[in-house]
Amino acid sequence: MNSLRSWQAILVSLVLAANTIHAQDAELARGAELLAPFKQDLKKALKSGLAEGPAEAIRVCRVKAPAIATALSVDGVRVGRSSHKLRNPDNTAPEWVSPVMRVYLDDPSSRKPHITELGADTWGYVEPIVVQPLCLTCHGSELPPDIAMQIADLYPEDRAVGFDVGDLRGVFWLEFPKETQ
Ligand code: HEC
- pLDDT tens digits, the chain, 181 residues: what are they? 567 777 877 777 777 666 666 768 899 999 999 999 999 999 999 999 989 988 888 998 898 899 999 998 888 999 999 999 999 999 999 999 999 999 999 999 999 999 999 999 999 999 999 999 999 999 999 999 999 999 999 999 999 999 999 999 999 999 999 985 4
Domains: count for the chain: 1
Identify the pLDDT of residue 160.
98
How many angstroms is it from 99 CA to the middle of ligand 1? 21
Beta bridge partners of 81: 172
Q: Whose CA is nearest to atom 18 of ligand 1?
A: 62
Question: Ligand 1: which of 63, 139, 143 to mutate, most ligand atoms within 8 Å of CB?
Answer: 139
Q: Determine the Cα–Cα distance for residues 6 and 148; give it in Å rounded to an integer.
A: 66
Q: State how far the Cα of 165 lies from the Cα of 133, in Å rounded to an integer.
A: 6
Q: Which domain holds residue 131?
A: 2-177
Q: Is the dihedral of CA 31, 33, 34, 38 positive or negative?
A: positive
Judged by DSSP in three states, 181 sits in coil
Residues with CB under 6 A from ligand 1: 46, 54, 57-58, 61-62, 65-66, 81-83, 86-88, 91, 129, 131-132, 134-135, 137-139, 160, 169-170
pTM above 0.75, yes or no: yes
pLDDT, the chain, mean: 91
Position 106 scores a pLDDT of: 96
Predicted local distance difference test score (pLDDT) of residue 53: 87
Tell me how far the alpha carbon of residue 136 lies from the centroid of ligand 1, in angstroms.
10
Q: What pLDDT score was predicted for residue 11?
A: 78
Beta-sheet strands, E only, within 44-138: 78-82, 114-118, 122-130
What atom of ligand 1 comes closest to residue 54's alpha carbon?
A: 1
Check residue 2 and give its pLDDT: 67
